[in-house]
Structure 1
Amino acid sequence: MNSKRVDTMGAERTDESSRVEEIIDWVARGIIEGRLAPGSDLNSVELARRFDVSRTPVREALFVLSREGLVDWLPRKRPRVSKIRLEDVRELYQLRAILYAQISCTIVERATAQEIARLWDAHRRLAEAAVRGDVDAYFWANVIFRDEELRVCGNGIFKEVLDSMRLRINRLRRLSTSLPGRLQRSCADHHRLCEAYEERDSMLAAALNRSIVIGALQAIEQAWPNDT
C-alpha cells in the first residue's frame, strides 16, 4: 500500500469497494494536504467524471467522509469540506496526549530491541524529510512513525480509538507540520522520544510523547484565525 494511502476502513477490499476507497483516498488526501479548503463544494457529478464511475460510489465515498468528520453533508445541500472548530481541536489533542503517553509506557515495557530499531528506522524517514524541508514527506513519514508505535504497543483498544479519529487528526497534523519552525522541532522531539525508548525510560518517554502532542496543539492555537 502506498504510504500516502488514507486507511479509512481497514477491511479487505473487493473490486466494487476499491472504487469507493479510491475516491475516499483522493478527497481525504486533498483535504488533509490543504488542496481542498474548508467550505469547498464537493460536486458528485465532477467526481464521478474524474473517476469514470456512476454517482453511486461517489455518494458512498462522501458518506464515509461525512461520517469521519471531513465532509459536511446536510439534507438537500451539496456536500462540502467541513470546517474545524478550535474547541474540537483541543478536545482531540487532549485525548491524543493522554493516549500517547500511555502508549509510550507500554512500548518501554514490552518492546524488543528489534522493535525499537524499527522505530529508529521510522525516525530516519522523518529526519530525511526534515533536512529537505519537505512538509508532505515529513507528514506522511510521521504517520508511519505513529503507526509503528501502535504496532509495537499492541493495544487494540488504543488503536481502535485512534483509528476512529484518524482522518480528522491527520488533517490537523498536516496543518501543524506546515507551520514555521514546526518541522525541525518535531523531528528533534521524536529523536529524543526514540532515545527514551532505547533507554527504557517510561516516565521520560511518556512525558515527551505528551509534550509532542501538546506542542502541536499550541502551535495550531497560535496560528488559528481570530475570527473562527
Structure 2
Amino acid sequence: MDDTDLSLSEAASGNQLVVSRICDTLREKIVSGTILPGSVINSVELARHFGTSRTPVREALLILSQDGLISITNYRRPKVAVVTVEAIRDLYGFREAMHAYMAAAIVAKASDEELLTLKQMATSLLRTAGADPMQHLLDIESYLGEELRLCRNEVVVGALNALKYKIRWFRRVGMPTREQFLILARDRLRAAEAYAERDAFLAEAVNRSMVRKGANFCEQSFQRAAKSWSSAE
C-alpha cells in the first residue's frame, strides 16, 4: 500500500469514527427523550458541532433512519420520527409474535443451567421492580438479551437487533409506573419458571400476555407524555 492509499484509508477510518460519534450522540438524545419526537434535525448545526462536513452527518442520519429513529423525506429537513399509538401497537404486536416463538425455542434449546440463570435474573428483576426506573429498564434489557441468546435463532436475533433502538426508545417514551413494572416483573418470573419446567405452552401464553400488558402500559404512558409535550410547546 502506497502513501496515497494509506491516506485514503486513514481518512475513511476517521470519517467512520465521526459518523459513529454522531449516531451515538443522537441515539442517546432521542432514546432518552432529550430530543422529542417530531423535532427537526439541523444538519448544518450538527456538522458545525462535530467539526465535520455534512457528508458524515447525512451518513449518520441514514443509519438512524434505518434504526427507526429519524424520518427522512425528499425536500424536507430530517426529523426525529413521530411516535403514535398505532406505531406502539405495531411494534408490540411484532414483539408479541417474536416472544411467543422464543418461548418454545428457549424451552427446546436452552440447558437446565441456562434456564436456572434466567430464573435467577427474573427473580432479581422482581426484587428491584420498585427501584430506580432507568436502571430497572437496563436490567430488563439485559434479561431480554439473554432470552434472545437462548432462543438460538439467527433470524429472530437479527430481526429484534434491527429494532433494538426503537424498542428501547418506545420503552422510555412510554415508561411504565412502578406498579406496572411490578406487574410485568411477576409475569416475567412466571415465564422463567415455565421455561425451567419445560412448559412451552405456558411460557408462550405468559409471554403473549406480558407483551400485551407492556403495550397497554406503554400506550397509556405515551399519551400522558404527549399531553405534557403539547403543553410545553
Q: CA deviation at 1:105?
A: 1.0
RMSD of equivalent CA atoms? 2.5
More helix by share: 2
Residues matched between the structures, number = 214
Give the number of the structure whose alpha-carbon radius of gyration is greater. 2
Per-residue CA deviations over 1:60-99 (Å, capped at 9, x if unaligned) read 1111112322112222322211112322322221121111
Show the counterpart of 1:104.
Answer: 103
Matched, 1:197 2:195: yes
Show the counterpart of 1:148.
Answer: 146
Per-residue CA deviations over 1:121-173 (Å, capped at 9, x if unaligned) read 543663465342x2221222222211111111101111122223222222222
Write the letter of the residue equivalent to 1:79.
P
Write the letter of the residue equivalent to 1:206.
E
Distance 1:127 1:180 in 2: 11
Write the letter of the residue equivalent to 2:216.
Q
Identity of aligned residues (%): 34
Distance 1:47 1:143 in 2: 30
Ranges in structure 1 where 5+ consecutive residues have no aligned partner: 1-13
Show the counterpart of 1:67.
Answer: 66
Distance 2:177 2:135 in 1: 15
Per-residue CA deviations over 1:170-194 (Å, capped at 9, x if unaligned) read 2222234344522222222212221
Show the counterpart of 2:3.
Answer: none
Contact 2:175 2:221 (C-alpha < 8 Å) held by counterparts: no
Distance 1:211 1:178 in 2: 16
**TM (normalized to structure 1)?**
0.81
Ranges in structure 2 where 5+ consecutive residues have no aligned partner: 1-12, 228-233
Write the letter of the residue equivalent to 2:168.
N
Distance 1:195 1:216 in 2: 19
